[in-house]
Structure 1
Amino acid sequence: MKKLMAGIVACAMVFTLAACGSSNGNNSGGGSEAGAGNKADGDKKVYTIKLGHSDKSGDSSIIDWTARQFADLASQYSDGQLKVEIYPSNQLGDQLEQMRSVQNGTQEMVQGSVNNFGTFAPSVNYLTLPYIFKGSEQARDAIDKLWDKNNEFGVEQAGMRFLLWTDAGFRAITSDKNHPVRSLADLKGLKMKVPPNKIFESAFQAFGSETVVLPFSEAFTAMQQGLVHAQENAYTTARTEHYYEVHKYITDIEWMYTISAFAISETYFQTLPKELQDALVKAGKEASQLERDRFDQLMEDDIKFLEEKGMERLGKPEDIDQWIELGRSVWPQAYESIGGGSAAKGEEIVNEVLSIIE
């Protein structure tokens, strides 16, 4: 009998607790305050965006640092609905492979140099014309004032939308211990690594070097094995990619301003609700400014770091005016590509840029 009574009491307690739970749910419209928050979180769709880049992870890489700022801002402005996952060090493939993936919609975002984006959206190659910019303010002016125009190029020609732009100063030549570059004469017979971009090839052929076309991911190994004698890039790249381990000299030819971008698949972008599109655009523009501020602080640190690692700065070439003349002489070769098949259109784009920055 005692066991029977105990069972009856237990059942009564279960029913009482169940009734209390039901009453609380009805009074709050779906749960207590905490429960309502959980329900809201459950109802909110989270969009995961894979973002790949070529740099190493960590604060020493301004690209990885900027990617993390962007991810945080995108989450903040979307109230947690946008989750940006960052894949550094070519984990998703080299830049060109990742750009193809973004273009065909199998990857959401990619960061890459403007010269590589120019493979897919040729009109943005105006940014890579030799000696088009005389200083960082001119380059940044072109980016800011032509933001929408650049996105027209990216969307129409490549199916990619540029969300943020980064810059890392003028590009310099780094070369091995047997090939210091002090003048154009030093480029004769020198094997110069260049990316797969016709403007780069044309420029360094005009300068007199023997160009070797290689993707970014193969550069260090080629230098290490002596397959190339020199390469050109930003100081920050020489630091983050450990070029100081294989190269001795830096020459400030300042032939091109280092510009890169973070781009999203336009197909994917259009699947997002308008408020999330706006959140990404806002995060991108804010991260662009944060990157500029940080770069201005880090440039001197990069120079000091490379010199401490044993690299020797040779300054500007003694015949820099000839470099500028030769570099600008290849512009007409790029007009047709920049103009999407029309040399006249390409020249028009370039002249528009010059009217803005000069």
Structure 2
Amino acid sequence: MLKKVCIAAIAVITLAMTVQGASAKQIIRVGMGDAADSDQGYGARFFKQAVESESNGEIEVQLFPGGQLGTETEMLQNVRRGTLDLCYVGIGNAVPFVKELGTLTMPYLIESHYDAIKATTGDLASHWNKLCTEKGGFRILHWGYSNFRFITNSKQPVKKLADIKGMKIRIPQNKILMATYKSWGANPVPMAWSETFTALQQGVVDGQDNPYIVNYTSKFHEVQSYLTEVHYQYSLQPMIVGQRTWNKWDAKTKEVISRAAQETQQYWTAYQILEAANAKEGMIKGGVKVSTLEDEAQWKKLAIENVWPEYYDFIGGKANLDMVLKALGKK
């Protein structure tokens, strides 16, 4: 009888230890503004696989795409508070917390994939992270590269500056984007991302701007007829962790997360280059007519002359812009 009691006791203890071990799995939640099938979504899935593999299943990454956890600004606020582990945000949505990051949104500062990578790696990556940690209460784990914000519209082909005059273009809440469009004679309309498709569909606005993959996965080809390749701003989407969360993680967790983040940054770079072409083809098959600018030098001249001098204070001083220009070999 005593033997049976001991066996039963051991079984109960073993079961308890198993349940305790199962519940001890570390959960990391990642919020995203873009859809699951966007480049942001693909990057997040790669990150999830890398973390879970490198932690031998001890860490589970849960993904919440499509604004399930709120707007990018709300998610960033929650990451800073420590109530959300990680989030992806467009760089412009981080500027209210660390204004120096606004440097990376200046029109025609970044003019190629190379520029985008150069501006966010090496010494400059360390510089941005130091500012984010000290002033924003968060750090950037890796950068996401989503290509240039190309303009779509439902009115007419935009091939030269005169074509965009008076056109209502949806933009995120971003002062630099607003000033840039105004310098071209357009009518920028700040609007939440969640309202954009319906606004385009109903003609509340004429157009919007986003990279090819976002345009295609958002199905803008269903409500827009024209796209123009304009290279005024490169879309950067960093993955962010709050300092409160970072500080509570043990060394092993930090190592796994950091390594997975760097692998994701490398993957995202290759993915963007390959998939942007496929998204472009998808837009064309969807009926969108693609144009290139005949006078982009004029667009660039107006943006730089009218926006840069007015927004030095907004980005924390002209020195920040000069530093990036020097790093890019433009000064």
> Are residue 332 (structure 1) and residue 309 (structure 2) matched?
yes
SS in 1 for 2:63: strand
**Structure 2 counterpart of 1:159, from 137, 161, 186:** 137
Deviation at residue 275 of structure 1 after TM alignment: 1.9
TM-score (norm 2): 0.91
Counterpart of 1:357? 328
Q: Deviations over 1:52-93 (max 9, x none)?
A: 112222xx4221111111112222333433322111111111
- Aligned equivalents of 2:179 and 2:27: distance in 1? 40
SS in 2 for 1:264: strand
Q: Deviations over 1:289-334 (max 9, x none)?
A: 111111121111111110000000012x211111111121211222
Counterpart of 1:319? 295
- Aligned equivalents of 2:209 and 2:52: distance in 1? 36
Counterpart of 1:294? 271
Counterpart of 2:206? 229
CA radius of gyration, larger in: 1
SS in 1 for 2:121: helix
Are the counterparts in 2 of residues 119 and 197 from structure 1 also a CA contact under 8 Å?
no
Are the counterparts in 2 of residues 55 and 240 from structure 1 also a CA contact under 8 Å?
no
Are the counterparts in 2 of residues 154 and 160 from structure 1 also a CA contact under 8 Å?
yes
Are the counterparts in 1 of residues 111 and 233 from structure 2 also a CA contact under 8 Å?
no
- Aligned equivalents of 1:331 and 1:86: distance in 2? 37
> Are residue 263 (structure 1) and residue 263 (structure 2) matched?
no
- Aligned equivalents of 1:39 and 1:223: distance in 2? 51
- Aligned equivalents of 1:71 and 1:121: distance in 2? 27
Counterpart of 2:92? 115
Q: Over the residues paired in the alignment, what is the CA RMSD in angstroms?
A: 2.3
Q: Deviations over 1:36-66 (max 9, x none)?
A: x959946x94332221112222xx4221111
- Aligned equivalents of 2:27 and 2:221: distance in 1? 37
Deviation at residue 196 of structure 1 after TM alignment: 0.5
Counterpart of 1:56? 35
Counterpart of 1:278? 255
Task: Report 1 or 2 for greater relative contact order, CA contacts < 8 Å, sequence distance ≥ 6.
Answer: 2
Are the counterparts in 2 of residues 163 and 281 from structure 1 also a CA contact under 8 Å?
yes
Deviation at residue 202 of structure 1 after TM alignment: 0.9
Are the counterparts in 2 of residues 50 and 108 from structure 1 also a CA contact under 8 Å?
yes
Deviation at residue 20 of structure 1 after TM alignment: 7.0
- Aligned equivalents of 1:45 and 1:148: distance in 2? 33
Alignment of 1:196-275 (within 5 A): 196-275=173-252
Q: Can you give the 5+ residue segments of structure 1 that lack an aligned partner in the other structure?
A: 1-13, 340-345
Deviation at residue 253 of structure 1 after TM alignment: 1.0
- How many percent identity over aligned positions? 27
Aligned length: 326
Paired amino acid for 2:259: K
> Are residue 67 (structure 1) and residue 49 (structure 2) matched?
no
Q: 1:222 to 1:20 in 2, by over 3 A?
A: closer
Q: Which moved more, 1:63-72 or 1:304-313?
A: 63-72
- Aligned equivalents of 2:188 and 2:6: distance in 1? 80
- Aligned equivalents of 2:95 and 2:55: distance in 1? 31
SS in 2 for 1:337: coil
Deviation at residue 254 of structure 1 after TM alignment: 1.0
- Aligned equivalents of 1:234 and 1:287: distance in 2? 19
TM-score (norm 1): 0.85
- Aligned equivalents of 1:171 and 1:252: distance in 2? 8
Deviation at residue 19 of structure 1 after TM alignment: 5.7
Paired amino acid for 1:157: K
Deviation at residue 280 of structure 1 after TM alignment: 1.2
**Structure 2 counterpart of 1:191, from 140, 152, 168:** 168
- Aligned equivalents of 1:278 and 1:210: distance in 2? 47
Deviation at residue 153 of structure 1 after TM alignment: 2.3
Q: Deviations over 1:163-190 (max 9, x none)?
A: 12111212210010x2321211122211
Counterpart of 2:2? 15
Q: 1:20 to 1:48 in 2, by over 3 A?
A: closer
